[in-house]
A and B are shown apart, each in its own frame.
Chain A
Amino acid sequence: MTSSLDPLATAALAPPPPFPLSSAALLKSAVDRVRTARPELADRLDLSSPYALSAVRAGLHGANTAGGDEVLAVVVIGRLDLPGWVRETCAFAHALEPSARSAWRRSFTRTVYLAGSPHNLRERFTFDHIADDGSVAWAGPASGAATATLRRLLKAFESSHELTAQPSATVTVPGRPRARPPVHRDLYIATAKVTVTDALVHVNHLVAEAVLDGLIGPGDRLTLRFVPRLTGLGARFAMLRVDTDVHRPDELQAHAGLTMEV
């Protein structure tokens, strides 16, 4: 099962100072993510180098990171269209109740991706969100037990394809803007040596956490831009998804980035 329990990755910077993609900035972004999700965890840890971070990550993967409160979301994918999926991910995250939001944030927006036909499952399972075209459905975030039957019935979503450069696409987050006027941001996604399945994990964490932190809201527009690597773009990032470098396992890489307003 593809799960994405990765505390090193997405960090909200508030107020977000734009920063270049230096090693220090990547590390800071990763540490900030841990701090936002689990302040008590960040305080206990010496997060002074990427090595320390990978040790922490190994520990977190092995242990029950959020105690008995850990929750996960399940995404059932029948047909995947990346821009449409990003739009619906925003809608799903935005519609969550405050308690579910905070529990999921504390669980590092852990998500499991399964292959399945939402249409064929709808009589047996109640989904919390279904894409307009029925191609993808969401359940949770909830305890693992709540989605155990669904997970037993389905298989981990698989795609052997590497993410390929594709034309940029702009989506509008569903819903009526309330708290603030809508804004437009770019969502950069790294493609080199990244499979479609990896990209789902990276983009899901970034987008979901940006929604939970209020960086993305109803009416906002997001332009998905696919680049081999987020290096030297000159973009001003408000939030990054940081994970292991695809070329150098001891270093960090920005796999996706949400820019400041454009």
Chain B
Amino acid sequence: MTVPPRKNVLLAPVTVTPTKPLTPSHLKGLLWTDVMFRATAPLAEVTYRYSHTTYHVTEQTVGFWEYLDRTHGETDYTQLSEEDIGDLYVRYRSGEQHQSADALRPYRDAVEHSDWVHPASERLLRLWAGHYERLGMHDPGLQEHQPPGLGLEEMIERLAAVDLVLDQRHGGGPVYLDLTRYGMPLRRIITTDGRPNYLACALRELLPLVPWYDEVVLLYDRELDADYQLLNRVLTRLGPTVRRVPIGRVPIDGKITSARHGGWRGHTAGALLRAAADVYEGDDTGALRLGMRLYFIATLGPGQSQSFRHDLLRQCLTVAARLLDRSRAAVATGAGDLSGTLGRHRRDHTYVDPYRLTCSLLGKGRPAPDPGLLSAVFL
């Protein structure tokens, strides 16, 4: 019997900029990606690319850093909570006074030429790493220096070689990603004063990576769909099959708002973890990890129609505890076929669909979940 070669799969989710607390929308995306990564790993060679370094140069991050240094000077950020730093970010964004590209240059230079990270973001990333740990999520290198494979100029040259860029900088204009030949709208990626947006950063990171993979999975907020359609088209041009997986955000009290507007108090990852700890008083890490996944993946689903509900999250934690009990009791009946179980939750793609897989754990009359599956993917 010949075994078909394992496919190379790249998971490239949109990153959360380390300028604010993790909100339910962020948690949903992160848990979704984590389950996809861990469920696909037994079936294929999977790379989970998640580089904060790549996106530090975007306006919202370096602009925030410059704002903090200008308005707060010497501050011991190691003493601040993620909510404290989030409050500063909300204040920064409400001012909306853009600094000149010159004012931000020292920060961009530091990111481009060293592994420097502003202490406020360093603090957030350290706190997030703690959340990842508690939630049992694979840490894709939150605090590591992971520069993109291409510099800004190299990225533009690479696009120019395939005639996908309109570079008007010589006349004081912007740089556009140009897919107009495919009937897709022109998209500015670098402003007239030289500021790259997140799409420019994504291209610097992904253009050199994707030719090495058979399948590239882009996970992103639904709001970014237009940009990700463009990205899909560019990356497909370089060879691999590209899959777009848009994930709906989680409304709070019926409203979907960006974290820069605040409104996340009581709903941050830290707050949810503290509340979960209160439910159990003792230590039931397994129920916490599985319950969070049952809620953010199976209960909320790929859409964004349901507002966040503490009561439903608590209910999922209880269901998770019960499932774990049943699973432990079923150990004696023998281990299941992990690859076979996981493989059922793919369609024509190589990656495992986190929603279908997680939903398969639920439902009346289901057999107890295989402990091997739970520990490989959900705990």
Residues of A within 8 A of B (CB): 77-80, 115-117, 119-121, 123-124, 152-155, 157-161, 196
Contact = CB atoms under 8 A, between A and B. Distances in A.
A80 B168 CA distance: 9
Given A124-B180, A159-B173, A117 B168 contact: no
Interface stretch (B183-191, B281-289, B359-367): B183-191
Given A115-B176, A116-B186, A155-B186, A160 B193 contact: yes
B166 A78 contact: yes
Contacts of B184: 153
A121 B186 CA distance: 11
Nearest to A163: B172
B83 interface: no
Contacts of B183: 124, 153
A159 B172 contact: yes
**Chain A interface secondary structure, helix, strand, loop or mixed?**
loop
A193 to B, nearest CB: 15
A158 B166 contact: no
Contacts of A115: 166, 168, 173-174, 176, 186
Nearest to B170: A79
B154 interface: no
A196 B171 contact: yes
Contacts of B176: 115, 155
Interface of B: 163, 166, 168, 170-174, 176, 178, 180-181, 183-186, 188, 192-193
Contact of B180 (A80, A116, A161, A196): A116
B195 to A, nearest CB: 12
Contacts of B168: 77, 79-80, 115, 158-159
A152 B173 contact: no
Contact of B185 (A80, A123, A152): A152
B163 A120 contact: yes
B180 A121 contact: yes
B163 A157 contact: no
A158 B172 CA distance: 8
Contacts of B181: 120-121, 123-124
Contacts of B193: 160
B186 A196 contact: no
Given A78-B166, A115-B166, A158 B173 contact: yes
Contact of B192 (A80, A117, A119, A160): A160
A36 B70 CA distance: 56
6 contacts: A115-B186, A119-B163, A155-B185, A155-B186, A157-B173, A159-B168
Contact of B172 (A77, A120, A160): A160
A159 B166 contact: no
Closest 6 CB pairs of A and B: A161-B172, A160-B192, A120-B181, A159-B172, A160-B172, A159-B173
B154 to A, nearest CB: 21
Nearest to B167: A79
A117 B180 contact: yes
Contacts of B185: 152-155
A187 B183 CA distance: 38
A261 B376 CA distance: 85
Most chain A CB within a 10 A radius of its CB, from B170, B173, B176: B173
Given A119-B163, A121-B180, 17 more contacts: A79-B171, A115-B173, A116-B166, A117-B166, A117-B178, A120-B178, A120-B180, A123-B181, A124-B180, A124-B181, A155-B176, A157-B173, A158-B173, A158-B174, A159-B171, A159-B173, A160-B192
A256 B180 CA distance: 34
A115 B172 CA distance: 12
A24 B171 CA distance: 36
B172 A154 contact: no
A79 B165 CA distance: 12
Contacts of B180: 116-117, 120-121, 124, 153-154
A80 B166 contact: no
A196 B163 contact: no
A44 to B, nearest CB: 41
Contacts of A152: 185
B192 A159 contact: yes
B192 A153 contact: no
Contacts of B171: 79-80, 159, 161, 196
